[in-house]
Structure 1
């Protein structure tokens, strides 16, 4: 009976160790995404890659890019406004693919 109890304790202990490692990995990924989001530097709109400006024109034909920012990973943060007065922020990679941040 003691052997079964000890085996159960070790099994539960090892499962909680794996869960802790997974939680740490998720936290690290979230921190990395936040750091990426904060590391943007302003760039001129005419310095944006053609793929990024084409993606904005295709998906948001009435949008104008008010400000543009870039980071070391060649990701772009775009502050855009629409003709109807609404504004928002878009994130794209250098190939014009949208990024969720």
Structure 2
């Protein structure tokens, strides 16, 4: 009788192990971080005139606090407007570009 009870207990614990649910991983919740390490700081007074003119025209009252350039001559500008900071991107001709459109190619 003891062997029967012991056998039933072992079988029951083995079956319950298979009944446990596995957590489902949601791969859509993954976070992608894009780092543009290729930008190098450049002096604000060395920016192309087209870039500074675009800032003056489209962000009246803004001050360029920092500027960075990559090998494709795309600029990352840190602007200060009424105490708030923001980041914008422009090409060498003063055209605004999205962060997702930043080229990581080397200049040719």
Give the TM-score normalised by structure 1. 0.62
Name 1:58's counterpart in structure 2: 57
User: Which ranges in structure 2 are unaligned for 5 or more consecutive residues?
Assistant: 1-33, 100-108
What is the Cα-based RMSD across aligned positions, in Å?
Answer: 1.8
Give the TM-score normalised by structure 2. 0.59
Which ranges of 4 or more aligned residues in structure 1 deviate by more than 6 Å?
Answer: none
Match of 2:92 among 86, 91, 94: 94
Inter-partner Cα distance in structure 2 for 1:61 and 1:38 = 29
Structural mapping, 1:1-101, within 5 Å = 34=34, 37-82=36-81, 84-101=82-99
Could you say which structure has the larger radius of gyration? 2
1:46 deviates by: 0.6
Inter-partner Cα distance in structure 2 for 1:87 and 1:53 = 17
Kindly indicate which of the two structures has a greater share of residues assigned to helix: 1
User: Which ranges in structure 1 are unaligned for 5 or more consecutive residues?
Assistant: 1-33
1:79 deviates by: 0.5
> What are the superposed Cα offsets for residues 37-96 of structure 1, whole Å, 9 maximum, x if unpaired?
3210000001100000000000001100000000100000000101x2111001000000
Name 1:26's counterpart in structure 2: none
Instruction: Give aligned pairs, total.
Output: 68
